[in-house]
């Protein structure tokens, strides 16, 4: 039973009733604020974001979006929401069946949605391109400053002098200060916690000199990474629906999509500069100007809050966030890597709250710019979402579980079309749940048991367990039905196998020859065992097919005392092809609970070989926490830290906390989420090194799935 304690949080001065671990209470204000971000370098990778999980606004060194071209080469300046999607015209009536490719799967034809290249078939290639790119997330509006020099010409980024930008994590407010012609400028930027509203207070004598105004530029929403295009003004529409009482309501239309933007601008006027470009021009002669901007998919009838109202709502929300949920304090650790780990943990909590805590599974680049057209990948949902439940913020995972209910019918149709039972969850999708053609994604299977893992995690940590069983039971069983029918019985070997046709989580393996990839085998075993346990909890009869598969599932392939990537890759640790991408074989214990299929000694040998031989430039951000969880689970705490904080190209965390991968993926939020998952698991399971250097304090963390 958990202990209960009462304590004060300063400066919030509110008493919270919380569950405490055996460790002392943590001074959360000090823990969080010692990692406040301060930046005085104009760097395109240093952009900062405010947001609420459903909506995010990313700013440059000015606290707004003044220099989008400069930042487009790093982390671009997005204004994005979970409703802000666009679907382009489809005059050719492209449909998924245009990309069907038939494979022989154990003697029967199965159709997959494969991405087609132009060299194969021109029309089918065009269908692939359209189906992959639509729908796509779009930029809702660029809001920046226009500042003039004394001679009346517009400044450029080189005119920004003495910049100092701070993000107060405790309040979620960005404070940006700089000078132009030796005149100080201060910009404070906040986001409403519940509405898609940003609000800004600007303080400078440039206002009285009529040298500063706010620029609102509405772009064409496109599927490219930056998600905006200012070069085709005739392909979209911007109009003013009303302009009164210091509020201007804009209507935006692009093809069949429509949204609204309301700007509150007391003591200022709106002027139109061109087809989609407007200026807010302060009328007063003092040095302070405030405005708020609200974005909405539907008509905005209510008045928009002013800066002080948004600032207060934002402050309270962030204080509640940091004061609740889990906390981990590394300040008493003497290992020189501990302070950096704490920084990454704190900033990852901020970023996943801002970018990933909405009602949809997140994209890898969240609500800042488009990776894969802004679509989300359901195999990555594990890395985005599990940590919320572990850090006692399970309401985020619960909210996102609704998406699976929404797309249930499409997932069932996919399974039926391929001749399987239950539901086959898609891979690369938008809000509608329609699969996207791919040479990889549609062949993946490791996202299938995720729903069972999420449901079990919520069940284990629920107060009302019966409610969780009733809520998710049918989808757990439908997921297991697909897994059961997908496994093929090899009567010669009296065993069940997975594949072919499949691409495993280690995507370098071959589509038509891969059999029994290690991670998928263990996940299938655990998933079906867990689904069977859900039937027992609900007083339902066991499913004989599930029991037969878990009894006769293939053993993991082993060679020279090492786990192979898959049964067919006998050269797993020799061939460079198989020593790259995700070292997912490590996830068979650590990411997954311990099962009878895994031998700890063989896993340890495999981890040692991975450490020595893997191509670390080819890995991804979540691989490092995955390896850490694996090592920690077999009692190798120091090796876990070495993996977690490895000096590797894609284990880099920027000043703003983002897990940098490369120029294409300057943001990679699965890395942040994976880090939080690993740290929580290692805390609760007492898996940090016991060498006197890691005196970790933690509280309010939930147990991992066992």
Q: pLDDT tens across 381-427, in order? A: 999 999 999 999 999 999 999 999 999 999 999 999 999 999 999 99
Q: How confident is the model at residue 3 (pLDDT cuts 50, 70, 90)?
A: very low
Instruction: Give ∠ CA 73-77-78 in degrees, rounded to 5.
Output: 125
Average pLDDT value over all residues in the chain? 95
Residue spans in the chain of domains classed CATH 2.70.98.50: 35-86+135-317
Q: In the numeric block, which tokens belong to residue 293?
A: 């901007």
Q: What pLDDT is attached to residue 16?
A: 32
pLDDT mean over 330-348: 98
Q: What pLDDT is attached to residue 305?
A: 94
Q: pLDDT tens across 655-685, in order? A: 999 999 999 999 999 999 999 999 999 999 9
Q: pLDDT tens across 415-439, in order? A: 999 999 999 999 999 999 999 999 9
pLDDT mean over 198-207: 97
The span from the CA of 283 to the CA of 266, in Å, is: 9
pLDDT mean over 205-220: 97
Q: Are 212 and 145 in contact (CB under 8 A)?
A: yes
Beta strands in 115-244 (DSSP E): 136-137, 142-147, 161-168, 173-180, 183-191, 197-204, 212-217, 220-221, 228-229, 237-244
**Residue 355: is its pLDDT beyond 90?**
yes
Q: How confident is the model at residue 217 (pLDDT cuts 50, 70, 90)?
A: very high
CATH topology of domain 35-86+135-317: Beta-galactosidase; Chain A, domain 5 (2.70.98)
Q: What pLDDT is attached to residue 286?
A: 84
Q: pLDDT tens across 151-170, in order? A: 999 999 999 999 999 999 99
Q: How confident is the model at residue 15 (pLDDT cuts 50, 70, 90)?
A: very low
Q: Is the pTM of this model over 0.75?
A: yes
C-alpha distances (whole Å) from 594 to each of 236, 348, 522, 589, 671 are 55, 27, 9, 5, 23
Residue spans in the chain of domains classed CATH 1.50.10.10: 336-699
Q: What pLDDT is attached to residue 23?
A: 53
* Cβ neighbours of residue 71 closer than 8 Å, sequence gap 6 or more: 44, 47, 60, 77
Q: What pLDDT is attached to residue 280?
A: 96
pLDDT mean over 332-341: 98
Q: pLDDT tens across 687-704, in order? A: 999 999 999 999 999 999
Q: How confident is the model at residue 285 (pLDDT cuts 50, 70, 90)?
A: confident
Q: pLDDT tens across 626-646, in order? A: 999 999 999 999 999 999 999
Q: Rounded to the nearest 5°, which phi and psi values hold at 643?
A: -70, -45
For domain 336-699, give the CATH number: 1.50.10.10
Of 612, 608, 616, 489, give the one whose Cα is nearest residue 553: 489
């Amino acid at each position: 039973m958990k202990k209960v304690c009462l304590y004060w949080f300063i400066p919030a001065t509110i008493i919270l009733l919380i569950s405490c671990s055996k460790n002392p209470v943590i001074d959360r204000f000090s823990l969080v604020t010692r990692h406040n971000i301060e930046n005085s370098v104009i760097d395109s990778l240093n952009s900062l974001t405010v947001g609420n999980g459903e909506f995010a606004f990313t700013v440059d060194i000015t606290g707004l979006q003044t220099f989008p071209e400069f930042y487009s080469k790093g982390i671009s300046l997005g204004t994005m929401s979970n409703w802000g999607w666009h679907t382009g015209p489809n005059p050719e009536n492209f449909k998924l069946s245009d990309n069907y490719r038939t494979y022989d799967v154990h003697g029967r034809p199965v159709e997959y949605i494969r991405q087609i290249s132009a060299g194969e078939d021109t029309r089918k290639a065009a269908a692939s391109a359209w189906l992959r790119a639509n729908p796509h997330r779009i930029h809702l509006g660029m809001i920046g400053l226009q500042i003039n020099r004394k001679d009346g010409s517009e400044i450029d980024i080189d005119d920004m002098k003495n910049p100092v930008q701070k993000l107060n994590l405790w309040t979620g407010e960005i404070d940006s200060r700089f000078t132009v012609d030796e005149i100080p400028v201060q910009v404070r930027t906040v986001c409403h916690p519940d509405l898609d509203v940003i609000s800004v207070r600007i303080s400078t004598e440039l206002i009285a000199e009529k040298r500063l105004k706010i620029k609102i530029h509405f772009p064409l929403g496109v599927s490219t990474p930056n998600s905006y295009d200012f070069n085709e003004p005739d392909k979209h529409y911007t109009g003013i629906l009303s302009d009164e009482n210091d509020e201007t309501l804009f209507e935006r239309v692009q093809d069949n999509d429509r949204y609204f933007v309301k700007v509150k601008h007391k003591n200022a006027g709106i002027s139109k500069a061109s087809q989609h470009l407007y200026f807010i021009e302060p009328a007063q002669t003092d040095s302070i100007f405030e405005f708020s901007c609200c974005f909405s998919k539907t008509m905005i009838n209510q008045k928009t809050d002013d800066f002080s109202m948004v600032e207060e709502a934002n402050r309270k929300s962030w204080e509640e966030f940091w004061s609740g949920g889990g906390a981990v304090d590394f300040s008493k650790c003497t290992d020189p890597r501990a302070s950096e780990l704490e920084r990454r943990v704190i900033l990852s909590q901020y970023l996943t709250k801002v970018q990933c805590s909405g009602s949809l599974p997140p994209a890898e680049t969240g609500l800042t710019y488009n990776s894969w057209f802004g679509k989300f990948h359901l195999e990555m949902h594990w890395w985005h979402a599990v940590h919320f439940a572990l850090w006692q913020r399970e309401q985020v995972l619960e909210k996102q579980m609704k998406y699976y209910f929404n797309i249930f019918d499409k997932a069932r149709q996919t399974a039926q079309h391929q001749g399987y039972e239950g539901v086959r969850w898609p891979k690369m999708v938008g809000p509608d749940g329609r699969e996207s053609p791919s040479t990889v994604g549609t062949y993946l299977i490791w996202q299938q048991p995720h729903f069972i893992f999420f449901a079990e995690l919520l069940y284990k940590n629920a107060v009302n367990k019966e409610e969780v069983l009733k809520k998710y039971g049918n989808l757990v069983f439908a997921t297991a039905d697909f897994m059961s029918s997908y496994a093929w019985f090899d009567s010669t070997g009296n065993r069940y196998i997975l594949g072919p046709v499949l691409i495993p989580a280690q995507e370098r393996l071959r589509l038509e020859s891969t059999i029994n990839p290690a991670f998928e085998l263990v996940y299938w075993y655990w998933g079906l065992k867990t689904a069977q346990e859900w039937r027992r909890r609900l007083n339902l009869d066991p499913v004989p097919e599930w029991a037969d598969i878990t009894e006769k599932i293939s053993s993991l392939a082993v060679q020279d005392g090492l786990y192979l990537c898959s049964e067919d890759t006998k050269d797993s640790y020799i061939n460079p092809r198989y020593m790259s991408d995700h070292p997912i074989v490590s996830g068979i214990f650590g990411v997954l609970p311990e099962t009878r299929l895994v031998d700890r000694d063989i896993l340890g040998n495999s981890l040692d070989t991975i450490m020595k031989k893997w191509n670390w430039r080819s890995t991804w951000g979540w691989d490092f926490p995955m390896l850490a969880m694996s090592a920690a689970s077999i009692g190798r705490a120091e090796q876990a830290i070495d993996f977690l904080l490895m000096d590797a190209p894609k284990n880099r965390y920027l000043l703003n906390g983002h897990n940098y991968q490369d120029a294409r993926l300057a943001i990679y939020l699965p890395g942040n989420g994976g880090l939080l998952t690993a740290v929580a698991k290692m805390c609760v399971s007492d898996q940090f090194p016991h060498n006197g250097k890691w005196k970790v304090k933690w509280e309010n963390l939930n147990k991992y799935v066992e």
